[in-house]
Amino acid sequence: MNKSTQPSTASDTNWSAAGMVDLLDDMHRRRARWRLWITVAVLVLTFAVPVLFLYNRLADAQRQALLDEYDVQRARLQRLPAGNPAVDAARNEAQTLRTESAQKTARVGIQDLQKAIDLIYRAEQLSRDEQRLRKLLNPVGEAVERTPWHDSSTVIADSKTACQQQHKAVTALLDQGKVADAEVQLAALLVNLGDVQRQNVEALQTDTCRSDWLRLSGQIPERLLQNTAITAIRNRAEQGDAGWKQGDWINARLCYTGAASDLQKFLDQELTTEEKSRVQQADAERISRLEKEKSDLAAKLNAAETQLDTLEKQIVQASLERSNALEQVGKLTADLAALQPLADAGKQLPEVQATLQTRTAELATANQTLAKLTASEKSLLETKAVLERQLAESRVQVQELERGILNRRSTTPAPSTGSSKVTGTAMAAGMQMVRIQPGRFMMGSEKGYSDEKPIHEVEITKPFYMGIHEVTIGQILLWLNSPGMVLQSNWIDFSDSDCPVRKNGSRYELNTATEFGRSEQQPMVCISQLGAKAFCVWCSQQDPQHKYRLPWEAEWEYAARAGTRTEFPWGDSCNGTEANINGNNPFGTDEAGPYLGVTRDVGSYRPNAWGLYDTVGNVYEWCGDWYDSGYYQASPKQDPQGPSTGSRVLCRSGSWHYFGSDARSGLRGDYNPDSTNVFIGFRVVAE
């Protein structure tokens, strides 16, 4: 009998209609659940299996893409210089992961490959960071080594040593692959170097005062050595020595300047005529010697520059050949890669084997050529680096010589003409300035344009210092490369191909590509009046004892005339012989003179009676006042500073391109304050 027919089974069941309803409802719920499961199963079978299949295909494709990307990145990394331990470690780890990824499932393999690519990226980043830091570190090292440090000062010497040690430490860190640490150390080194360079500029200024003192002290005759006044002066100078060694620059300058001034007065009173003439003769001899050294060095410099040009051409040529060779190697490698499967598939085919061998031989030859060219290029680059270093050193020497010559010249006794007395002194950025004493002069010119009339008397009531030269490119570079310098776009027009300054990496340098940038001693051009004013602000920060600014028009004409009433400081005619103007259009004479067509090193012509160079021609010089053509009609008699507002500002002195008539002492040029061109530069005054 079937189990379901057993009475016991019947008695076990729920004998109620409600129970039956529940049982039927349970049955329907169970069926619904089963239906749902079956539907899900069908859907899974219908969709999940193809999806899984596609997923695996995609994973394989992704792995292949990652493999390709890895190989590309790896090849890129290979082109970067090796040797950094951290880079090598990352590279090796990545290679291990890449090798192992082939033996794993797609998903795990993809993870490994992504990790490997990340490692390659990291290695590349490390390598690039290292290169970047080394690129930065090398000029820093050169700056440390080649800067003419005034290391007779203990402070400068210690700071220099500290910088050298920091430089070595950074180099060691880079060699060990600790790029992040090296970056931190390098940042600290840059800060320290900026600080010590600032101190060195201070030392440079102080050194000029010190040199003045040393030179003057050398003129003391033996008979006066025991003089009590001399002893007192020497004591003061010794205080300057102490300040010099300890880095107390302001005190040192004050002491040296004071001692030199006192000694000068003392010598003026105590020296006999014979002794004075001996001193003057010795100075003249020294100037002559320095001039000769300078011209020799300049010739050497020119020769080195020519050699450098030739070398650069050779380097370009070598680089071109190398890239051609590299391209050839790449092409041959690709050919070989294409031939390899053919060779594998058809080992018995002699022509395929022959082609393969030929290509392999060609590749070997190309590789040899490439290696030779690389070595040649490297050698040329090294030679170029040596030459550039020598060139830089020569330039520094030339600058120093010029500074020495200028020292001598500026401290020659004041000219007897005019009522002003002139005294030489050293100012910010190594600028040489003369002190212009107060006085009266007749401003304007009857032979000039209408805005120069009428001639009227002007009184300069306060003394001021004026740069004996127009501001040079070298001085501008000192400013531009100073720590914390923030350049505004309307100061210097770097987009002008004749701008004598250009940016190279993080530093500014002489733009030798233009004739206006052949020498750092050429006057700065392509700078707006706003830029010139910014330079004055920087000078004031460098030399807090003085306030630097652009000259007022009246100050400029007063100093340029230097007590004369003629059109030029030397007379009423100019044809480019006495100054750098367009000699094709002379003034006051029919005889045409030279036209150089470019600026010339400052101080290349005779100075005026008060020791100011290039007050005629070379470059126009920005003044501080607004321009008003009728200003002379009602200008104040004392210290006129131009109208209170205006749209154009004044510039004086004419330039290398302008006619003789435009280079007269009384000529009033006007430009927009933010305009820049190769005709306008500036000189500064200080109070």
Partner 1 sequence: MAAQRTTSPADRSDSGPPGKGYRTALGLDDPILLMDLIQPETLNAITAEGLADITAVDRGGYGVILKAADHVTGNPRAVKVVLEPEDKHRLQIFRRECRVLDSRELPPGIAPKFHAAREPGGAQPFLIQEWIEGKKLSAWLDANPSLSIAHRESVCRALFATYAKLHAANLIHRDVSLGNIMISGRTVRLIDFGGAGRAAAGYRSQNTHSKVPTTDAFASGPVRKQERKPSIADEVHAVAKVCFTVLTGQYAFELNSADQRRVVMQRAGCTSDLIRILLPKMEDPPLQLALQTAPLEFGDE
Q: Which residues bind partner 1 (CB under 8 A)?
A: 2, 4-5, 7, 9-11, 13, 15-18, 20-21, 23-25, 27, 30-31
Residue 624 Cα distances to 104, 551, 610, 646, 684, angstroms: 77, 6, 21, 12, 10
Closest alpha carbon to 627 in 655, 669, 667: 669
Asked whether the beta carbons of 182 and 174 are under 8 A apart, the reply is yes
The distance of closest approach from Cβ of residue 35 to partner 1 in the complex, given in angstroms and rounded to an integer, is 12
- C-beta closer to partner 1: residue 4 or 489: 4
Q: Closer CB to partner 1, residue 24 or residue 75? A: 24
Min dist. Cβ of residue 45 to partner 1 (A): 24
CA distance 487 to 484: 10
Q: Are 592 and 575 spatial neighbours (Cβ–Cβ below 8 Å)?
A: yes
Find the shortest distance in angstroms from Cβ 39 to partner 1. Answer: 17
Residue 13 or 165 with smaller CB distance to partner 1? 13
Question: Which residue number, 5 or 647, has a Cβ lying nearer to partner 1?
Answer: 5
CB of 44 to partner 1, least distance (A): 25
Q: Which candidate, 640, 641, 648, 653, places its Cα nearest to that of 683?
A: 653
Write the single-letter amino acid at 339. L
Cβ of 135: how many Cβ atoms within 10 Å?
Answer: 12
Cβ 42 to partner 1 shortest distance, Å: 20
The CA-based dihedral angle spanning residues 133, 136, 141, 143, taken in that order and rounded to the nearest 10 degrees:
-160
Q: How far is the CB of 43 from partner 1 (least distance, A)?
A: 23
Pairing of strands 464-467, 548-549: unpaired
**Residues 6 or more apart in contact with residue 130 via CB below 8 angstroms:** 84, 87, 174, 177, 179, 182
| Least distance in angstroms from the C-beta of 3 to partner 1 | 9
Compute the CA torsion angle 327, 331, 337, 339 (nearest 10 deg).
-160
Shortest spacing between CB 18 and partner 1, in angstroms: 4
* Nearer residue to partner 1 within complex by CB, 21 or 513: 21
Per-residue b or e along 426-445, where b marks 16 or more CB atoms closer than 10 Å to that residue's CB: bbbbbbbbbbbbebebebbb
Question: Mutual orientation of helices 529-542 and 473-480 as an angle, nearest 10°?
Answer: 70
User: Based on CB atoms, which residue is closest to partner 1, 31 or 289?
Assistant: 31
Tell how strand 680-681 and strand 620-626 pair up: parallel
- Name the residue nearer to partner 1 (CB basis): 9 or 176: 9
**Least separation, in Å, of the C-beta of 28 and partner 1?**
8
CA distance 623 to 214: 36
Closer residue to partner 1 (CB): 11 or 495: 11
CB of 27 to partner 1, least distance (A): 5
| For partner 1, the closer CB: 11 or 450 | 11
**Which residue, 34 or 53, is less far from partner 1 as judged by CB?**
34
**What b-and-e string marks burial along 287-309, b requiring 16 or more CB atoms within 10 Å of the CB?**
beebeebbeebbeebeebbeebe
Which pair of structure tokens corresponds to residue 73?
Answer: 């990145």
Residue by residue, DSSP assigns 125-160 as HHHHHHHHHHHHHHHHHHHHHHS---TTSHHHHHHH
Shortest CB 1 distance to partner 1, Å: 8
For residue 388, count CB atoms less than 10 angstroms from its CB and return exposed for 0-12, middle for 13-18, buried for 19 or more: middle
User: 7 or 341, CB closer to partner 1?
Assistant: 7
Which residues have C-beta within 8 Å of that of residue 281, sequence separation ≥ 6? none
Residue with smaller CB distance to partner 1, 12 or 222: 12
Shortest distance (Å) from residue 19 CB to partner 1 = 8
Measure the CA–CA gap between 92 and 86, rounded to whole angstroms. Answer: 10
Q: If DSSP codes are grouped into helix, strand and coil, which group holds residue 680?
A: strand
Q: What is the DSSP string of 268-280?
A: HHHS-HHHHHHHH
| Least Å from the CB of residue 37 to partner 1 | 15
Give least dist CB 31 to partner 1, A.
8
**E strand segments, 47-196:** none
Shorter beta-carbon distance to partner 1: residue 36 or 375? 36
Contacts of 483 (CB under 8 A, 6+ apart): 191, 194, 195, 197, 198
Q: Smallest distance, Å, CB 33 to partner 1?
A: 12
Helix (H, G, I), strand (E, B) or coil at 212: helix
Spatial neighbors of 552 by CB under 8 A, at least 6 apart, are 623, 624, 625, 639, 640, 641, 642
